[in-house]
């Protein structure tokens, strides 16, 4: 059972309307899709988000650095191959695009393994097929949506109509006072029984600045506790996150940009967060995500993975410390990955839950016409 072919494709999908978060403007999403084929012609598919640019760098890492390690190797030796690939790319990698590329290959191998077994990935990993808890993510800064508070309230109403009681919005892109007004508007729109998380996307430069902001947001939320305060500082500020977490009432969440078990070890040692948001497309694939999740569990920390609900719903079903899965409605035009997937295999949702696909592997099929439409550099 050997790997005979690895193919990477770069795609770029424009977002619907001009969009902003705290630290950058957003016009296009770049993804890299990876197919791994065995000697019997069976194929597993993985993918990663490369950023608002950078798909070509990530694709090159697959083609030039990683594929030579995997080609001709035993497709079942997933963990062993991960270790060899990481070692072979130490000089060029260890973080960034190379680990995202490694993530996509690792995901493809797990997809292939589950397809060969005729099982959903969740079941192959020893998990349940029970629906997974989810929340509606969004709350970006989109000037075309109108006045900031009205836009937030309108989006919360949309999320509620889709069956979600728990929500997340961005902060850090306006003044603290303006963002506090948005927080108050979101809390009012949610009402009783729902939760609100805040995502700063590394907006604040110091612990003091982040503390000032979250305390203002807590006051704006009144007697409704905020669910978590996400990425308040730079991902490099690991000790800063720990210091902030010790000072404030709202739990800190982080990890979506952090890669490999070693960075998460540093987060644990610094007591930097109560919620880990490891992204399997970033951290090192399914293999590394599970290592992080099991280690976090031994420290009483919960997993709320970033993005990629189509993949993460399988992984959260296979661990015991799942808090929630992030969900973006395709209609929002923010997380637009599902435009590449056939409508019948897109994630199903309802009642604050996502449903684990019952098809083998990840349970999704790429639409060849959509992939061809958005492929770049072909």
| Per-residue pLDDT, 252 | 98
| Per-residue pLDDT, 378 | 64
Instruction: Give the torsion sign (CA, 35, 114, 287, 278).
Output: positive
Give domain limits for the chain.
3-118+367-374, 123-355
Contact between 196 and 169 (Cβ < 8 Å): yes
Same fold, 3-118+367-374 and 123-355: no
Stated pTM of the model: 0.97
| Per-residue pLDDT, 25 | 85
The CATH architecture that domain 3-118+367-374 belongs to is 2-Layer Sandwich (3.30)
List CB contacts of 244: < 8 A, sequence separation 6 or more: 207, 210, 211, 232, 233, 252
| Per-residue pLDDT, 236 | 97
The CATH class, in words, for 123-355 is: alpha beta
Contact between 145 and 154 (Cβ < 8 Å): yes
Pairing of strands 25-38, 43-51: antiparallel
Q: Which residue has the tokens 């950023």?
A: 51
Q: List pLDDT tens digits, range 194-220.
A: 999 999 999 999 999 999 999 999 999
- Count of CB atoms within 10 A of residue 222's CB? 11
| Per-residue pLDDT, 26 | 87
Q: Which residue has the tokens 């604050």?
A: 352
SS3 for 254?
strand
Instruction: List the one residue out of 327, 316, 324 whose CA is nearest residue 292.
Output: 316
pLDDT < 50 regions, the chain:
none
| Per-residue pLDDT, 6 | 98
Burial class (CB in 10 A: 0-12, 13-18, 19+), 129: middle
């Amino acid at each position: 059972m050997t790997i005979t072919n690895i193919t990477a494709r770069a795609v770029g999908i424009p977002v619907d309307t001009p969009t902003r978060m705290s630290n950058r403007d957003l016009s296009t999403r770049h993804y890299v899709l990876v197919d791994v084929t065995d000697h019997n012609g069976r194929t597993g598919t993985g993918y990663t988000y490369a950023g608002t640019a950078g798909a070509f760098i990530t694709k090159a890492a697959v083609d030039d650095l990683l594929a030579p390690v995997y080609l001709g190797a035993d497709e079942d030796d997933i963990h062993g191959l991960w270790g060899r690939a990481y070692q072979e790319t130490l000089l060029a990698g260890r973080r960034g695009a190379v680990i995202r590329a490694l993530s996509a290959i690792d995901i493809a191998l797990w997809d292939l393994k589950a397809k060969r077994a005729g099982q959903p990935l969740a079941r192959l990993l020893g998990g349940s097929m029970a629906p997974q808890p989810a929340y509606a993510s969004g709350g970006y800064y989109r000037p075309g949506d109108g006045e900031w508070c009205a836009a937030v309230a309108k989006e919360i109403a949309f999320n509620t109509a889709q069956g979600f009681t728990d929500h997340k919005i961005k902060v850090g892109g306006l003044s603290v006072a303006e963002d506090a007004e948005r927080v108050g508007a979101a809390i009012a729109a949610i009402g009783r029984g729902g939760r609100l998380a805040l995502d700063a996307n590394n907006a604040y430069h110091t612990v003091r600045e982040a503390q000032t902001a979250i305390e203002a947001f807590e006051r704006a939320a009144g007697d409704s506790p905020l669910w978590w305060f996400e990425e308040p500082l730079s991902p490099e500020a690991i000790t800063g996150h720990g210091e902030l977490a010790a000072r404030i009432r709202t739990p800190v969440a982080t990890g979506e940009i952090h890669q490999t078990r070693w960075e998460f070890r540093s987060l644990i040692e610094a007591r930097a967060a109560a919620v880990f948001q490891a992204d399997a497309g970033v951290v090192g694939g399914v293999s590394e995500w599970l290592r992080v999740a099991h280690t976090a569990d031994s420290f009483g920390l919960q997993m709320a993975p970033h993005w990629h609900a189509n993949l993460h719903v399988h992984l959260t079903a296979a661990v015991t410390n799942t808090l929630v899965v992030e969900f973006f409605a395709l209609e929002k035009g923010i997380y637009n990955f599902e435009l590449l997937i056939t409508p019948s295999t897109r994630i199903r949702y309802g009642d604050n839950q996502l449903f684990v696909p019952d098809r083998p592997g990840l349970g999704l099929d790429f639409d060849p016409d959509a992939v061809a439409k958005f492929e770049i550099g072909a």
